[in-house]
Chain A
């Protein structure tokens, strides 16, 4: 099911840092990866090319960083004052009479990352499509197959995907360390073309629906999945 997506990427040799993060916490996938890597080595592929590519991609671009340009202390103080004044002017005004309990808070930073993985069509390679709520919006074709994951994997997350004709609830059990699947893989075609609102909230103990979680004070983070024909 959800692990199958990772297995598929491992078998296809499509092992990026996201898959590696999963491998660090998933004994089963790591054993599968180890078997294939050992087999590849026995067949003659020692992985040196991939190792080199990964290492040099991880190195800082410019090892010899240039020192920052010197500016006079007066200019620095002026810039600081300007920044403080701007921040004060743009600060959102709070209404002390209104106290929201739960609900939607677009300004709040989500304590989780809802990763949307999927294939553009059956048989296509799996790729990372969106990282909600940070990316806010993503576009997928109507033939896509998707699977949600939450990071950190210990988060109990409730997700609701709402299209024009259909609502799909999903949840994670928070049992994995790094990435945990949220619900099962699904076909976007079930929603049809149009916008699908994907809302998620961390589940308070004992609560199993998004609506109840919001009533209990959980903050809902919504993003949009644009399904194209």
Chain B
């Protein structure tokens, strides 16, 4: 895969993206707290990787460390461009990057058992159709067309249910408190 990536091309890029998208997402979360900033940074990292694709030389080392260094540098640049300093736990030298980036981050706690239990408690408070929509849309990642077929509703209703569940969850004090705690 590394050699194919180095030769360039959209397919090779897509293959690397599929393999390493979760890694990049995890690394970026170490630099940025807000979801929006994380999404913007992830996009920037991959667009940079696409531009630099042919500069990667597999004879000098595997792809993953190259991608990690690129991600780390781009995130630092984005923070600098926003005239912000990295938070105090960001290592100052690149050597420490690998350990720091791959260490479990605060965001990993978001998926902790405690949160899963809280989501289950929240789901139990929902009417049946909304609880089912939560399961299908969020947990099983089904499309609105699939959800509509499954629940015997139209796609607009599916979108409405998703929006309703999301807003209700964002107003659920226990759930929000736990998410906040996980990030602090």
Contact = CB atoms under 8 A, between A and B. Distances in A.
B21 A48 contact: yes
B115 A42 contact: yes
B26 to A, nearest CB: 11
Interface stretch (A51-59, A84-92, A204-212): A51-59
A98 interface: no
What class of interface size applies to chain A in its complex with B?
20 to 34
Choose among A43, A44, A59 the residue with the greatest number of B CB atoms under 10 Å from its CB: A43
B166 to A, nearest CB: 6
Contacts of A39: 166, 169-170, 175-176, 179
Contacts of B40: 20, 24
A37 B110 CA distance: 12
B15 interface: no
- Interface of B (DSSP majority class): helix
A49 B141 CA distance: 9
Contacts of A11: 163, 166-167
B34 A59 contact: no
Choose among A11, A31, A46, A55 the residue with the greatest number of B CB atoms under 10 Å from its CB: A55
B14 A56 contact: yes
B21 A30 contact: no
A105 interface: no
A38 B35 contact: yes
Interface residues of B, number: 41
Contacts of A13: 159, 162-163
A198 interface: no
Interface in A26-68: 30-31, 33-49, 51-52, 54-56, 58-59, 63-64
Contacts of B178: 42
Contacts of B8: 63-64
Interface in B156-172: 159, 162-163, 165-167, 169-170
Contacts of B53: 63
Contact of B165 (A20, A31, A43, A59): A43
Given A38-B35, A44-B141, A54-B43, A63 B115 contact: no
Contacts of B50: 59, 63
A13 B47 CA distance: 23
Choose among B35, B43, B119, B139 the residue with the greatest number of A CB atoms under 10 Å from its CB: B35
B62 interface: no
5 contacts: A13-B162, A13-B163, A37-B35, A48-B25, A63-B8
Q: Which 3 residue pairs of A and B lie closest in terms of their CB atoms, listed nearest first?
A: A37-B35, A43-B138, A44-B139
Interface of B: 8-10, 13-14, 17, 21-22, 25, 34-36, 39-40, 42-43, 46-47, 50, 53, 110, 115, 119, 134, 137-139, 141, 159, 162-163, 165-167, 169-170, 175-176, 178-179, 183
Interface of A: 11-13, 20, 23-24, 30-31, 33-49, 51-52, 54-56, 58-59, 63-64
Given A41-B35, A42-B115, 14 more contacts: A12-B159, A12-B163, A30-B34, A31-B34, A37-B39, A39-B175, A40-B166, A42-B179, A44-B139, A47-B39, A56-B14, A63-B50, A64-B8, A64-B9
